[in-house]
Amino acid sequence: MKASDFVTQIRNGDIDVVEHTKKILEEVKKINKEYHYLTVISEKEAIEQAKSIAKNPAGKLAGLPVTLKDAICLKGIETTAGSRILQGYKPTFDATVAARIKKEGGIIIGKTSQDEFGFGAFSVNVGIGFEKPLNPFDKHRSTGGSSGGSGGISQKVHFPHISLGESTGGSIVNPASFCGVFGLCPTYGRVSRYGLLDYSNSLDKIGPMGKYAEDIALMMEVISGFDENESTCSDKPVDEYTKHVGADVSGMKVGIIKEGFAASNEEVTRHCRNAITALEGLGVECKEISVPTAIKYGIPTYYLLSTSEASTNLAKYCGMRYGKHEKLEGGFNDYFTKVRSKNLGQEAKRRIMLGTFARMAGYRDAYYMKAAAVRAKIIQEYKKAFKEFDALVCPTVSVLPPRFDEIDKFKVVDHYNMDNLTVGPNLAGIPHLNVPVGFEKELPVGLMIIGDHFDEKTLIGLGSALEGK
């Protein structure tokens, strides 16, 4: 059942929202015990929300179960961004997206597992003491990252549900692809970041994940729009995204990114090519295009910029004002080192060191400033493409979900290169949507549709056209 149909039944009294909420919480507990998709199940708060909605079933999301990535603040509920250094932190406020979901009657049932602070492409870099989420189609494989819990639970549950993930370099569409669901990373500034625990301020975006294109569109209508609490949030009017579900796509022009297909394996390529053929059958004009800068230089550009910002953002978790703390003794450096060494995982430490090096005096011009210049070139490359095309397409991830024993053998650079197709749109701040386009060896394959700034409606139209094809 789609979210809108479920909400209609709640409003009509066909479903008892309190009993339904209790029932789905039991299902979530069983799934979580086996698959580790949630860091927290907010049972008490969810039931209280359900009781309130039972009295007044208003709002676009009335009674709909929703989950949030653990980096998104939820008032009174432990929010850690998947890191031990923040265990025990309970925000005194809701993130803007959480507040808007509650206002529209959505019931937030828990926080989803992730790579620590978003540092990863497989959700294996979870913080110390956390369990990595398991792929819903094969428990020996990755959910993708870093919003792996959101992708996994979106696929696994049997009830209408939408999850909010967060993307810095691909962390919405990547797990959406690995878990076989829709995942939309919106334009930078389309959705408020207020209440999001930062990874990289100039790159972070919050977006929805779910089984249906219409569910994605519905949630985008709820969470998008200006927020006076967030300085990078756009005041551009919000489209009625649900009206573009099932829209006529004939006459649209779509660019096929040749470098994206060249970098992908044969199995993934075949399913994505079949999806393009399906679009052509609907009257879409598809033509090959090259975006060499984004593919060739995206990875080094992204990791220099994102880690530089991350090293700054994570500096506050030092045990003085924020994060775990120890007995105050020794000098500042000794104390900070003790707290951070004990409570941050290996990948978090690696990215802090890389980012700190890149922005040090003597290295800033050689690394950070050059990366910023290349980012500008990547944006120009995409903007030029959108003068000719309505959207661009390529595989979301170049491989099928790998097994954990395979990931264990990967080098650090192999982890980083997994983002090779997704970092470009993230650096440019343009919206991109994962669309499930088939299965290979019982594992899902995703096609990524990329749009111009604030053109999420075109992605929703094209994505919904491929739904079920």
List, by residue number, the catalytic residues: 69, 146, 171
Distance, CA of 311 to CA of 259 (rounded, Å): 31
Distance, CA of 104 to CA of 61 (rounded, Å): 5
Tokens 């909420």 — which residue?
A: 21
The residues pairing with 444 across neighbouring beta strands, listed in sequence order, are 439
Distance, CA of 19 to CA of 25 (rounded, Å): 10
Please name the amino acid found at residue 139: K
The residues pairing with 68 across neighbouring beta strands, listed in sequence order, are 111, 164
Six-digit token pair at 116? 């620590």
The H or E element spanning position 393 is: strand 391-395
DSSP letters along 142-184, please?
---SSSHHHHHHHHH-SS--EEEEEESSSTTHHHHHHHT-EEE
Closest CA relative to residue 162, chosen from 181, 178, 189, 137: 181
Please name the amino acid found at residue 348: A
CA 90 to chain centre: 22
Closest CA relative to residue 73, chosen from 56, 98, 51, 41: 98
Distance, CA of 91 to CA of 449 (rounded, Å): 35
The residues pairing with 288 across neighbouring beta strands, listed in sequence order, are 256
Closest CA relative to residue 7, chosen from 104, 151, 74, 100: 104
Six-digit token pair at 235? 């005041």
Six-digit token pair at 315? 């500096």
**Cβ–Cβ contacts within 10 Å for residue 419, how many?**
24
Strands (E), 232-390: 253-257, 285-289
Tokens 């359900």 — which residue?
A: 50
Six-digit token pair at 309? 């910002």
Q: Write b or e for each residue in 299-320: b if 16 or more Cβ atoms lie within 10 A of its Cβ, otherwise e.
A: bebbbbbbbbbbbbbbeebbbe
Is 322 exposed, middle or buried, given 0-12, 13-18 or 19+ CB atoms closer than 10 A? middle
Distance, CA of 454 to CA of 188 (rounded, Å): 9
